[in-house]
Amino acid sequence: MDLVFRQGRRHQCGSCGGYTLSIQEFRLYEGVVEAMAQFARQFGRIVVCTNQRCIGRGLLSEQGLSDIHRYLLQLIEPAGGRIDHFYFAKEVSDDDPLRKPHPGMALLALKDYPEIDLEKSIMVGNNPSDMQFAINAKIHYKVFLNTTIDEAPMKEGQPISDLHYPGLKDFADSIKDNTISKIIQ
């Protein structure tokens, strides 16, 4: 089983229009380090798919984003956490095939990691576009985190996520004993 994340669900947004533009602005949510260590033991691949319109707007360089990602790894790796790959969409246009909710970043992950089976993968995100991305990419399981909005996204009166939790640590705690298959069946 593999795990796909969106960037914003692990950390708090910065002060410039909600963007985190530097390592100094980067703050992890409580429990993320422990959760990522647990996920590293439980999941085959862990990839991050993140919309980074701030690059297209000239607010952050690709190197700056890489520095933030490297910093994140420095925070989680000592505890045993890992992220196998970061994918990002930098264009401003919603029509860009890499931007969520389009499935482009999932397709890149499949190309790089052909062993990933989206039917057995989990998308964890805190934005309605993350859940729609999972639907469009045919990622079977969708976990919504209430870190940015209180209610799980709905479509035609039904939640489009399979599960929702207050935060990443809450999700990790719910599957601590390798019970994910029981929860999402």
CB burial of residue 39 (10 Å; 0-12, 13-18, 19+): buried
Place of tokens 């990419």: 137
**What's the pLDDT tens digit per position in 53-76?**
999 999 999 999 999 999 999 999
In this prediction the pTM is 0.88
**Which of 47, 60, 54 is closest to 17 using CA atoms?**
54
Of 4-8, 79-83, 126-130, 177-181, minimum mean pLDDT range: 4-8
Contact criterion met (CB below 8 Å) for 137 and 118: yes
How much is the pLDDT for 87? 97
Looking at residues 141-170, what average pLDDT do you find?
Answer: 85
Would you say domain 2-183 falls under CATH 3.40.50.1000?
yes
Q: What is the pLDDT of residue 8?
A: 47
pLDDT over 60 (residue 124): yes
User: Which residue carries 């992890």 as its tokens?
Assistant: 28
Residue reference for tokens 């919504």: 144
